[in-house]
Amino acid sequence: MPYHDVGYIALLEKVIKFTKPYGIVQLGDALDFWQISAYDKNPLRKQTIAEDAQIYKGILQRWADLLPIDGVIHQLEGNHCDRLRRYIWRNAKELAGLVQTVPEMIGLRDLGIRTVWHPLAQWDSCKIGDAVCHHGHFFNMHAAAGNLIKYPKSLITGHTHRFQYVSNGTRFSCTLGHGSNETETAHQPTPTGWQQAFAILSVNGHKTHIEPVLVHNGECVVYGKRIDV
């Protein structure tokens, strides 16, 4: 928030209704905290951190309501989510511990469903079968290929806004695109190479399989069915 693509979110909700998953993993950077970032900000934008958090809280609640009663939401911390802690430590360290944390701000404990917060610093916190979901740290044109070598597990990340998938036959590495409004989030006037996407994970035995789904203009194809907003 607030650079999310509302069309992408609406599409996801249709996909959740169609696929009926057991759980959802949000790969991080759900809150941008642009108000306290070092990047230039649009002075016409007046929305507060609290308002951004409220919007995401509403989205989480809708997701929770779509999941089965024994379902789970895994919320990963992204580097943008971590901006609040860094800001307080730098500018008002006396208030550390007094200001709400991100999980508190988004009401993660109040969704009526099991939820798990995964800190950015703990790369293997979110295990799904034999794969790990992490927000991601490395950022270049070949992040997925680099991660396949660097990490000992199959790995699913966000962060790069690009879609990349590589496998060595036993493990895979995937950077899973983004769900933002590209025209508002891109900082440079060049083609971004970004791709909206999500994936369906299934665990067979101990082995995790990934089915990436690419989103173009509010449309995607899941299990052969075209879904749009």
Of 21, 23, 78, 179, the one binding Fe ion (CB under 5 A) is 78
SS (H, E, C) the chain: CCCECHHHHHHHHHHHHHHCCCEEEECCCCCCCHHHCCCCCCCCCCCCHHHHHHHHHHHHHHHHHHCCCCCEEEEECCCCCCHHHHHHHHHCHHHCCCCCCHHHHCCHHHCCCEEEEECCCCCCCEEECCEEEECCCCCCCCHHHHHHHHCCCEEEECCCCCEEEEECCCCEEEEECECECHHHHCCCCCCCCCCEEEEEEEEECCEEEEEEEEEECCEEEECCEEEEC
Please count the residues of this chain forming the interface with Fe ion, following the rule CB under 5 A.
Answer: 4
197 Cβ contact list (under 8 Å, min separation 6): 163, 176, 177, 178, 212, 213, 214, 215
Shortest reach from residue 22's CB to Fe ion, in Å: 26
Q: Which residue, 74 or 159, is less far from Fe ion as judged by CB? A: 159
Task: Identify which range of 78-86, 95-103, 110-118, 188-196 contacts Fe ion by CB under 5 A.
Answer: 78-86
Residues 140-179 that bind Fe ion (CB under 5 A): 159
Instruction: Please state the closest distance from residue 78 (CB atom) to Fe ion, in A.
Output: 4
Compare residues 154 and 175 and give the one whose CB is closer to Fe ion: 175
Decide if residue 77 touches Fe ion (CB under 5 A): no
Could you tell me the smallest distance in angstroms from the CB atom of residue 139 to Fe ion?
8
Return the number of the residue (37 or 202) whose C-beta is nearest Fe ion.
37
Q: Which is nearer to Fe ion, 137 or 216 (CB)?
A: 137
Give the footprint of Fe ion on residues 88-127 (CB under 5 A).
none
Nearest approach, Cβ of 136 to Fe ion (angstroms)? 6
Give residue number: closest CB to Fe ion. Answer: 159
Query: Which stretch, 2-10, 27-35, 149-157, 218-226, contacts Fe ion (CB under 5 A)?
Result: 27-35
User: Which residue carries 């249709």 as its tokens?
Assistant: 14
Nearer to Fe ion, 21 or 158 (CB): 158
* CA-based nearest residue to 27, from 212, 170, 152: 212
Among 35, 61, 79, 185, binds Fe ion (CB under 5 A): 79
Among 4, 5, 27, 29, binds Fe ion (CB under 5 A): 29
Query: Which residues contact Fe ion (rule: CB under 5 A)?
Result: 29, 78-79, 159
